[in-house]
Amino acid sequence: MKLNPSQLEELINHHFSILFDPNDTVALFGHGLEESWLRCALTEKGKALLIETNSSDSPFTRQNRIQRRAYPGRVRMEEIERSIDNQQKNFIAFYCRNERLNRLFCRLMADIVWHLCNEGPVSGDPWTYLLTRLEGWKLLFSGSDITAIEKGLIGELYVLRHFITRYSFPVIIWEGPMNGTKDFRLPGQNVEVKTTSSRYDYFVEISGLYQTAELQSQERLVFIRLEQTKNGLLSVRSLQDELNTLTTASGEISEFRRRLEDYPQVIFETLNTWEVLEAVVMEIDHNFPRISEQSFVNHRLPDGIMQIKWTADLMSLRKTGLSEFNF
C-alpha cells in the first residue's frame, strides 16, 4: 500500500465529506488506493465504514452474513447487507455513535484499513479479526455509554423474561441484538423497549426515523424505569442466569447465547444491582410523538443531515402496567 495511516485518515475523512444522502456509499479510491471492497457511507446511524466480506478482492472469504453487532463504547460494529450497483453484498460495518468523535473515528478506521491492506488474506472469522482490532481502541471510545448499554440490556432482558414466563414466547422474538428494527417482534405486532434511570419524567431518546415507524397494525413501547441500589435484585448477570433456566431447549439456549455474545463483557461482570420502579406499555399510534420520513419534503432528509436523534415526551400518553397488559 502506498498510503501511510495518516494519509489514509485524510482520504477516509474526504470520502465522508462528499456524501450527503443517508443512503449513499462510495468506494475508497484515491492516491494509489483502489479498494472497491472498502466503502464509506452515510446511514441513519451516522458515518460508517463498510468492509465487504464476500468479494474476491477482499481479504475475507466468508460468503454469508451472520447477524451480529457489538458496542465497544461509542463505536458500533455490525453485519449488514446493502445493495451496491443492484447487487446484494455483505459487509461488516463500523459506525461512530458520537459525531464529536468523527475525527478520531476516521483515525481508527485508517488503522483498520491499513492493517487489512498490508496483512493480506485473513484466516478465520472476519468478525473476530475486526473485533480484536477494535478492542485495542475501545478505551478511547468508552465511557458512560457502557452504563447506558447495561441499563438497556437489563430492560430488554426484563421484558424477555416477562414474555417467556407469561406467554411462553420463544427467544427468537428478541430481535434487538440481531440488528432488528424493533426490539421484539411478536405475532402481529412489534415492541420497542426504552429504559431510563430518571425518576420523574417520561422522556425517551429516539435514534433515526425507524424506531417509531408503524411497520404493522400494532406497535407498542415498553417503558422501564430503573433505580440503581445496593439492595436491588436485578443485574445483567442475574437476568442472564434466570433466562438460562427458562430456555431449557437446546436450540433456545444457543439462540439466547448468540444474542448476548456481542455485548461488552464488562457489563456481565459488573457488581451494579438495580430495581424496577416502573414498567408500563404505551401504544405507538397516531398520538405518539414522532419524526419520520413523512416529516420532510419529498420524504427524505435534507441535504447535509446525516443522522437525527430526538427526544420524545411521553407524559400525556395512556399507560398500562406491563403485568396488566395483554400482548
Q: Per residue in 173-232, pLDDT tens?
A: 999 887 677 899 998 899 999 999 998 899 998 877 766 665 556 899 999 999 999 999
> What does DSSP assign to residue 174?
B
8 Å CB contact between 50 and 41: yes
Could you give the angle at which helices 102-119 and 5-17 cross, rounded to 10 degrees?
120
- pLDDT at position 79 is 87
- pLDDT at position 2 is 64
pTM of the entire predicted model: 0.63
* Cα–Cα distance for residue pair 35/30, rounded to 1 Å: 9
Residues 6+ apart with CB under 8 A from 47: 16, 40, 41, 95, 96, 99, 102, 105, 306
Half-sphere exposure of 279 (CA within 13 A, CB side): 18
- pLDDT at position 21 is 78
| Residue numbers of the chain with a pLDDT score lower than 70 | 1-2, 31-33, 63-67, 70-74, 120, 138-145, 179, 210-217, 306-307
- pLDDT at position 72 is 58
- pLDDT at position 317 is 95
Q: Could you state, in order of their start, the residue ranges of all structural domains in the chain?
A: 5-141, 145-321
> What does DSSP assign to residue 302?
P
